[in-house]
Amino acid sequence: MVNFDDLRRSTEEDYDDYDFEDEESASMAPVTQQRFLGMTALERMFISMFFFMNVAVLGIALLLATGRIGG
């Protein structure tokens, strides 16, 4: 039968000599804020939802006005 405590100890011993901080600091690029038209992602989402609803309502209004639907 396998003793889990021995397995834990063996894995801890393998990682004692490795320094994780050196690799992370060398590979990480500086984070920059990217904004499109000066808006955050949430603001762009609400603008796109507004335009979608605007087009949908205007499209339905035109279909009703020209008699293509509803009568």
Q: Is residue 53 part of a domain?
A: yes
Q: Is residue 59 part of a domain?
A: yes
Q: Is residue 47 part of a domain?
A: yes
Count Cα atoms within 13 angstroms, Cβ side, for 60.
Answer: 6
Q: Is residue 44 part of a domain?
A: yes
Q: Does residue 64 carry a pLDDT above 90?
A: yes
Q: Which amino acid is at 10?
A: S
Q: Is residue 51 part of a domain?
A: yes
Q: Is residue 61 part of a domain?
A: yes
For 44, other C-beta atoms within 10 Å of its C-beta total 13
Which distant-in-sequence residues (6+ apart) come within 8 Å of 69 by Cβ? 60, 63
Q: Is residue 71 part of a domain?
A: no
Question: What pLDDT digit, counting tens, does each position of 2-54 carry?
Answer: 788 877 777 766 665 666 666 655 566 676 777 878 899 999 999 999 999 99
pLDDT for residue 20: 64
How many structural domains are present in the chain? 1
Q: In which domain, by residue range, is 13 found?
A: 4-66
* 3-class secondary structure, 39: strand
